[in-house]
Amino acid sequence: MRFSPNLLDEIRSRLLVSQVVGRKVALKKSGREFRGLSPFKAEKSPSFFVNDQKGFYHCFASGEHGDIFTFLMKTEGLEFPEAVERLAAEAGVAMPKPAERNVEQEDQRERLYRLLEASAAFFESNLRMGLGAEARGYLERRGLAQETIQAFRLGFAPNSRTALTAHLKSKGFSPADMATAGMLIAGDDIPEPYDRFRNRVMFPILDLKGRVIAFGGRALDKDVPAKYLNSPETPLFHKGHILFNAARARTAAHDKNRVIAVEGYMDVVALSEAGFNESVAPLGTALTEDQLKLLWRFAPEPTLCFDGDGAGRKAADRAVEIALPLVKPGFSVSFAFLPDGLDPDDLVRQRGAGAMMEVLEKTRPLIDVLWDREIKAQPTGTPEQRAALEARLKSLTESIQDATVRSHYGRELRDRLYQLGRDRSSARDRKPAGTPFQSSYARPMAAPDWRGRERSRLAPPGKRFPDKSPFPGALTASPELVSHFQSISPREALILKTLINHPWLIDEHSEAVAVIEFASPAISALRDEILAVHARQNSLDSATLRTQLSKSGVAKVVDLVARTITHKSDRFAEPDASAADVEAAWHHILALQQRQAELGLALKSAEEAWYRDCTEDAENRLLDIKRQIARETAMNQMDEFDQPVDDNSDVKRAG
C-alpha cells in the first residue's frame, strides 16, 4: 500500500522522535539534542543522538540513521506499512480508506478477525470453567504456570459438535463466515455442519499485529487420528507464511539478535516460560521459504533447533535444502541439535534452562551441517567415491542464488575436499604395509599430567609408582615401529640424545619438550616415555633414565638415536659437557626445530592455496617456501657433517 507524503508528514508532526525512541532507549537531554546508549550495538559510552527539531536519530557506533518509521522497522522488525499503521494509531491520524473495489473484501476480513477473536475468548473461558478440568490438568502436568497460559491465551474446545457454532451465532456470525474462518466443517456432502475443534487444548495463532488468524488444537483423546490439528487455509491464514508466536517473539528477537525456531507449539511455550521468549515454530509443516524470510526479519542468523533423533536429522536435512539457495551476505542459518530422545519441552522441564543454553552454545553453521550430511550419505574411501561427493557438492553450491556467497561456498568446499584427500593419504602412508586403511580422524593424544611427579613423590611408599602411566596417551615403541622408521632426522636424534644425557633439562623445560613437533613417530614415542619416567621419579640422572628406558620397550629406539649421531662435533650433547654449554645449545637447537616445523606448516598451507586458487601468486609462494626448505636442509647438512670441530666455541654446533 502506498502512503501519501502528506499522511507521513502529519504523523511525524504529531510524534516527537524522542517520544518514540524513548520507549526503548533511556535518553538524556544534551543541549538541543538527546543522547543515549545505542539500541543497535553494545556500548558503554553514549553515541546515539536524537534531534526532534530535525526529526531524525543518528547512531555513531553503528551508522544507523532514520526517522520514527525507520526506528520501528529496525528495532521491532516491522514492515513499512505496519510501522505507518501503528504510529498513525498512536498519533490519532486516520488511515486512508481502501479503494471502493476492495470494500467488500475488507469487510469480510474484518468480520473474520472479529469471529476468530470471539472464538479465542470462548476457548479461554472454557478452560477456566468446570468442563476445562481435563485440559487444565494436562497443562499442569506439562509444568506450565498460570501466567504462561494467560500470555499465550491457551484455551479449551469442548467435546461438542455445536458448542462453538451456537456461541458464534449468539454473537451474530453466520455459518458461512464460520466455515470461511475454518472454525466450522461444512460442505455440500455434509448434511449438518459441525465444529472443527472438539475436546482439544487450543493454541491461538496470531499474525504479526497480534490478531488471531487461526488455531492449533492438541487432542486430549488418545485414539484420535491427529494429535495436533491446525486450521485450514483461509483468507487470513496461510500456514507457510507465518510462524507460531511470531508476534510475541519479534521484540525479544531484536533485543537479543537471536531467534530460535523449534518444531512444536509446546516447545515454544515451554521455552518462553524458561526465558527464551524469542522462540517460534512452523505450523505443522517443514520450514518454508516464506517462513525463513520472516525469520531473517527477526535476526540475520536464525537458530533452527531439531530433536537429536533420526526424524530430527531428516528435518534438518530438509531445512538445509530450503535455506541453501536463499542464503545471502550476512544472512544464513545455524543448527542446534538436542540430546537424543528429548525435545525442547522435555529438556527445559527435566534439566532446566541452562541445559537449553548449552545446546544453543553449540550451534553449527549451515556449511558444517551440509558437509556432514553429504559425507555420511555415501562412502568416500576411494577417488571415485570422492569424485561423486565433489559432484554432489558442486550441484548444491550452484543452487545458491547469490553469486558472492556461491563463490565462498565453492572455495570452502573445495578446501574441505582437498583436506579429506590429504587426510586419507596421510593416514594410509602412516600404516605399515598390509594394514587395512581406516578413518583418518585419529584420536588425539592425551596431554601429559605435569602434576604426576609431585603426586608420586608425596604418595605413601607403597604407592610411589602408580599402576598406570600418568601419560595415558603415551606411545610404547614396538620392534615393528622401530623397524618401520630406521631413518630419523639427525637433529631429532640429537635432541633426544641431549635429554637422555642431561635429564635435568626436563626440570626447567618439560612443557617445551612435550610440545616439540617430531617427524619420526619413534622419536615421539621415546620423548613421551622419557617424560613419563621423569614424572614418576623425583630425582633423575642419566644412568637411572637409561635403566628405566631399557625396561619400557624403547631400548631399540635409544640404540637408533645413538647410531644416528655418527659425528662428535656436537659436544654439548655428550655426558661430560658443561651445564652452561648444554643450556645455550639446547635453546638453539629447539629454535632450529621450531623453524623446521613452521616451514612444514607453511608448505602445507601453500600447497592447499595453490590447489584451491591455481594463481601465479599461489605458485610463487609455494616455490619460495620450497626454496627456503631446501636452503635450510643444505645448511643443516653442512653444519652436521662438513664443519670442523671447534672445542673453544661456547655453543658446540647445535645444528
- The three-state DSSP-derived secondary structure of 204-262 is EEECCCCCEEEEEEEECCCCCCCCEEECCCCCCCCCCCCCECHHHHHHHHHHHCCCEEC
Q: Which residues of the chain have pLDDT under 50?
A: 101, 433-477, 479-485, 638-655
What is the model's pLDDT at position 147?
A: 95
35, 40, 173: which is closest to 108 by C-alpha?
A: 173
pLDDT digits (tens, 9 = 90+) for 208-242: 889 999 999 999 998 888 899 999 999 999 999 99
Q: What is the topology classification, in CATH, of domain 105-237?
A: DNA primase DNAg catalytic core, N-terminal domain (3.90.980)
φ and ψ of 155, to 5 deg: -145, -165
Grid cell of 449 as nine digits: 599430567
Residues in the chain: 655
Second CATH level (architecture) for the domain 238-377: 3-Layer(aba) Sandwich (3.40)
What is the model's pLDDT at position 113?
A: 95
Query: How far apart, in Å, are the Cα atoms of 648 and each of 497, 592, 639, 651?
Result: 22, 22, 16, 9
DSSP 638: I
Residue with grid cell 537449553, as numbered in its chain: 356
Q: Is 343 exposed, middle or buried (0-12, 13-18, 19+ CB in 10 A)?
A: buried
What is the model's pLDDT at position 481?
A: 46
Please state, in angstroms and rounded to a whole number, the distance separating the CA atoms of residues 128 and 180.
Answer: 28
75, 72, 45: which is closest to 60 by C-alpha?
A: 45
Whether the Cβ atoms of residue 539 and residue 503 lie closer than 8 Å to each other: no
Whether the Cβ atoms of residue 371 and residue 362 lie closer than 8 Å to each other: no
Residue with grid cell 574441505, as numbered in its chain: 416
What is the model's pLDDT at position 381?
A: 86
What is the model's pLDDT at position 276?
A: 96
CA 277 vs. chain centroid, Å, equals 20
pLDDT digits (tens, 9 = 90+) for 539-571: 678 888 888 888 877 888 888 888 877 555 577
157, 145, 244: which is closest to 194 by C-alpha?
A: 157
- Side-chain-side CA neighbours of residue 388 (13 Å): 11
What is the model's pLDDT at position 98?
A: 61
Please state, in angstroms and rounded to a whole number, the distance separating the CA atoms of residues 203 and 212.
Answer: 10
CA 406 vs. chain centroid, Å, equals 20
φ and ψ of 217, to 5 deg: -125, 130
Grid cell of 492 as nine digits: 631429532
Strand partners, 216: 203, 230
Whether the Cβ atoms of residue 396 and residue 365 lie closer than 8 Å to each other: no
Whether the Cβ atoms of residue 364 and residue 335 lie closer than 8 Å to each other: yes
Whether the Cβ atoms of residue 528 and residue 516 lie closer than 8 Å to each other: no
- CATH hierarchy code of domain 5-91: 3.90.580.10
pLDDT digits (tens, 9 = 90+) for 432-485: 544 444 433 333 333 444 444 444 444 444 444 444 444 444 444 454 444 444
pTM of the model: 0.59
Please state, in angstroms and rounded to a whole number, the distance separating the CA atoms of residues 30 and 445.
Answer: 61
Whether the Cβ atoms of residue 163 and residue 131 lie closer than 8 Å to each other: no
pLDDT digits (tens, 9 = 90+) for 477-516: 454 444 444 567 788 888 988 888 888 888 778 778 888 8
Q: How many CB atoms lie within 10 A of CB 430?
A: 12
What is the model's pLDDT at position 637?
A: 54
What is the model's pLDDT at position 563?
A: 80
CA dihedral sign, ordered 358, 359, 360, 361: positive
Query: How far apart, in Å, are the Cα atoms of 537 and each of 506, 534, 575?
Result: 12, 5, 20
- Side-chain-side CA neighbours of residue 256 (13 Å): 16
E-only strand ranges, 281-413 = 303-306, 334-337, 364-365
